[in-house]
Amino acid sequence: MTCLPSNQPIDRIKASPLAGVRGGVPIPFASVTFSDGYHAMVLEKWGVRAAAMTFSRPNKSFYLSSAVGFPIPFSKLENNFIRLSEKVSLNGFKKDHVIALDDGISEFDPLLKQLKAQGFKHLRVFQINDILTSTGYWFMFFEDLDNAECVGEKVANSIESSPFPHDLEDMRELTADRDHVDQMITNWVRLLDRRDKETEEHTERVAWLAVKLAERLGISPEEQWNIYRGALLHDVGKIFIPNEILLKPGSLSEDEWAIMRMHPVIVHELLSRFSIPEEVLDIPHCHHEKWDGSGYPNQLAGEEIPLPARIFAVVDVWDALLSDRPYRSKFSNEEAVEYIREQAGMHFDPQVARHFLEMLPVKKI
């Protein structure tokens, strides 16, 4: 059973940061959503020989998000593009401006000098003011000056003010098999981890626990695959929550909670546009629903909640209880067990909660 459609689609949330972008070039989601394969297809469409994107974390330090078309391994590119981004942010380059690599600029940067030797002739830098509420830069490299000069208009017109490109058939085709789904999930999780480093170990732990509980409940290996991927994606919707809410050290206001509670809707609205099995989306969409119907976003109750989401709800809360939070200290194992028992039949499916408690302690294989 799949989660019911949300009654609050993204395009109705006009007052939140989800409604669009604020100036600059909208973020090309191809770099993180559709894997490097889709990004490469976009570059081919625009006649760009190579491109890279950088973003800044909340502390304003840059990281390399995506890079395709370079004769240099990704692992060796990051420091170079961090330096380039810092130069751009300090107005070392004109933003949204074509730069010839033979005008002397490549002599001052080892990466640009190497790319010039590889036949790259022109660089264009676009500033990205994205819906992640951070700054980024899209570096594009060309052989042909005419193409370098006109591609800016193509970028602006192709994405407009929406975070979602319009050629959805291309996206579905490229995400139609398991390998592309895995690559896309990996890119999303990587982006979330770089924004909020505390989520990284939590995501891996709860994904593994969810699979072990599913196995105990007799769920097939294929369904376990869906549960694992869905667990990895469970907090990806938080990417679109503003830093001042997501990283707030104190308690949230009612208005802030209203935005925070949208993250399951956001991730479902985004990822349902691709060829991702609905069973994978059940967890990110429905893991905050509660057995008694008091959860969100759709107040589902009992078996209206998809089984993968009921499984994940228990392990997610369990892991959260055993971790320190800005607003409370972590629970002891005994306190966490008692909480799960108390919430069986209210927050949790009582049978799922019983099986979870029976399988503790879990030892990682």
338: CB partners within 8 A, 6+ apart: none
Q: Which of 14, 45, 212, 238 is catalytic?
A: 238
Instruction: Please name the residue that has the structure tokens 């300090």.
Output: 90
DSSP conformation class of 50: E
CA atoms of 53 and 41, how far apart (whole Å): 15
Say if CB 240 and CB 263 are below 8 A apart. yes
289: CB partners within 8 A, 6+ apart: 3, 295, 296, 298, 299, 300, 301, 304, 305, 309, 313
Say if CB 281 and CB 3 are below 8 A apart. yes
How, if at all, do strands 62-68 and 50-56 pair?
antiparallel
Q: Is residue 60 among the annotated active site residues? A: no
Structure tokens at 290: 């509660």
Residues labelled catalytic? 238
